[in-house]
Amino acid sequence: MRFDIEIIKENDGFTAKVPTIKDCEVWAKEHEVALSQIINLLAYFLKLEKNFYYRLDITKNTKDYVSYTINIINRQ
């Protein structure tokens, strides 16, 4: 499975979201915390196991915006 993650710098922190999943959005004071929280929320929405495997790639990086592609890896 593959999803896009967007992180936008706001005046007081960072908003992270998965645009293709309704209500999959978080806010945090730090970029890394927002990224961690959105990955955990995505796992919740997808009902993934606690220690799931994924690959995260940066697809765009500007001063106020970073987008990632997360690939969920199924390990049997």
**Mean of the per-residue pLDDT values for the chain?**
95
In tens, the pLDDT along 39-52 reads: 999 999 999 988 89
Which pair of tokens denotes residue 10? 């706001």
In angstroms, rounded to a whole number, what is the distance separating the alpha carbons of residues 44 and 67?
20
Cα–Cα distance for residue pair 33/27, rounded to 1 Å: 9
Instruction: Count structural domains, the chain.
Output: 1
- Give the contacts of 28 (CB within 8 A, at least 6 positions apart): 13, 14, 16, 34, 37
pTM value? 0.93
Domain that holds residue 9: 2-73
Q: CA 68 to CA 6: how far, in whole Å?
A: 6
Q: List per-residue pLDDT tens for the chain, 76 residues long.
A: 999 999 999 999 999 999 999 999 999 999 999 999 999 999 999 999 888 999 999 999 999 999 999 999 976 5
Provide the CATH number for the domain around residue 36: 3.30.160
